[in-house]
Structure 1
Amino acid sequence: MAYFGLVEAGAGTREAARQVGINYRTAKRWRAEAAHAAAAPVALVEVASRFLSLDERNLIADRVRQAGTSLRMIAAELGRPVSTISRELARNQQPDGTYHPHAAHGMATARRPRPKVGKLVADPVLRAIVQDGLDVRWSPQQITRRLRRDHPDRPEWHVTCETIYQALYVQAKGGLRREVAGWLRTGRIQRRPHVRSDQRRPRMATPMVMISDRPPEVADRAVPGHWEGDLIMGAHNRTAIATLVERHTRYVMLLHLPEGYTPTLVRDALITKIQTLPEQLRRSLTWDQGSEMHLHGQFTAATNMPVYFCDPHAPWQRGSNENTNGLLRQYFPKGTDLSVHTAEHLDTVAAELNDRPRMTLDWDSPAERMTQLLNTTHQQQCCNDR
């Protein structure tokens, strides 16, 4: 703080006050507050960095007296959110509206000790009102809303639903009869965690579009450009190869993942491979709900290719891909390290599969069907150009 810096440098109280631009009596009060704080016993308690320190409050006091200094500028200088500075000035200023750093630090320190006595424990009248509401099966929300409406002039009675729930379920909070917890609409006498171990947590960064919302044209395989994808796993699930199968032609592409199959690596590999295709072959991708597709939204944004997700435990919804993965085990047996295969080897394996005649294609090969498709598309584009 500038004032105390001048005093420490040898300036008198009156001279330091004049240079800083404050009243002499204000300077004397600051020195008295500082002396009182220095004389008080200091508790050796480490204060978390999220709380403002005395030095930070001294700087705030300096800046608020400087004309043209905004709260945003103070926050930027301290590296704090603007809301922290605004809240500090609102909570810890003096009754006359002035802000004194040592007094503010003392007020904040006095409010910090935990645990505090709960509102329902400290106020028997409020506790009785809440208890009466619970006795007639009112929900905590109904009780809190009526307290605010019926007693607008009693802000100390404006409790939250969480206050009531903690008084019921947390023994340390106390205050309400324990048996009332069983009268809540849930009927529970113990609190259930918001996140349960038996709940499957969302695996995706953005909401999934399920296969039930996939366009009908994908299901009948009449329109090319719709793909199915999955991973085949190596030993101990440590390595993987991503597989893509085009539903109309059964054409196969393999993705090299030598460094792992994290969502970022799978996203990048998919984008690179899909962008090698002509636009008419980039219509959609169907995948299972594996966590490797966590960033499917970013893949869609980069390729303009929507991703549809299968239902859990429904591999038949990607029948072409599942069949292809079975064929690939001839080349990549289970329990082996898949990272040893190069990208060139994967391309060779994919070419062999694409050259195999298929009964479902009337004994054409996927490569022949893909060539026919691309030739037809090219001829149509030439006619349109004419």
Structure 2
Amino acid sequence: MIGVNERTARDWDHGVRRSGNVRIYPDGRRVDYKRGVTTTVDPSGALSSAPAPTMAALDQAICSRYLSLQEREQIYALHQTGESMNAIARSLGRAVSTISRELRRNNSPLGYQPYSAHRQSVARRPRPKPSKLAADGDLRDYVVKKLELGWSPEQISHRIIADHPDQTEMRVCHETIYQAIYVQARGGLKREVEQSLRAGRARRKQHRNPASRTPRFRDPMINISERPASVEDRAVPGDWEGDLILGAGNKTAIATLVERTTRFVALVHLPVDHTAESVRDGLIKTMGDLPKLLRGSLTWDQGVEMAKHAAFSAATDMEVYFCDPHSPWQRGTNENTNGLLRQYFPKGTDLSVYGPEDLEHVCNLLNGRPRKTLGWKTPAERLDELLLMA
């Protein structure tokens, strides 16, 4: 509601403050995750090495997603009576994988003991931890060698299991390798190794949540996921897909339209430019010449040329649905049609030399070409059939 990250809100809930890369906890701990250093502030205000927290403090339940001591006692009791892991999970309201992992990771020479298991779990909890790749050893040597051969971290993490099946210490996940490369103080791999990554980046690229993406246009868009099912099954004519084909230097363009049911093609002449205003006016003129039956909807990508989509919808009474970013397959019919059009408008040519008569001639050629998907009828014949039925 107030526009902050979810993790920031959780920090506020727990009284955690941030100063740059440092997180300051209510108990005085200062954790620098970038440098991998934990310090604490004594009453005088001076910084000192962080003391190990007492077991009594760590035994306190901090989050419901962690198993509590009481739950571990219940697991022990049910396990002793021979109950299956499924039965234990149902009794505790936990996932079966949680029970399985608990019995496997926190076992002891005397079998599963709740207090021993709880202390093992608590001992693993403090963060940050030293990286597996921070110190010299066979694991680090293996990772460095494979990175120099051009292997990706994911390939390394999976292949190491096959190369060292009996050495459990020779295990590392791909995220650990990335951390070791991108966060030098924590990871410990040499800076030169980062040049072996295929991306060639010295730092990690941040990926934003698509849900928090800045809106593409001022007017709200309707996503393709909200498009009616009748458009998807091509049962009724009048639903179009559109895009631009660009000429030399992306300076000239032609707007292409194809009707989803009949594959009927229409081309929009853009003699001057392909700004949002020019595309809007061209689409309104082209669609305005069609009967109302054929003005159902238009599906387009999120190109800037459709910034005036609201004005187009108001003038033609057609909804415009926008594809997801980088998803050309959501306009597959139009993409295929653009490929056919390149026979007449090759890439790298100046499209402004083609006049309205040239575009009409190309449309007639494509609309008179038999299509396998139409049972070897032409788009023009199929459109005539549907219009007569209506």
TM-score bracket for this pair, using the shorter chain length? 0.3 to 0.5
More helix by share: 1
> Larger radius of gyration, structure 1 or 2?
1
More strand per residue: 1 or 2?
2
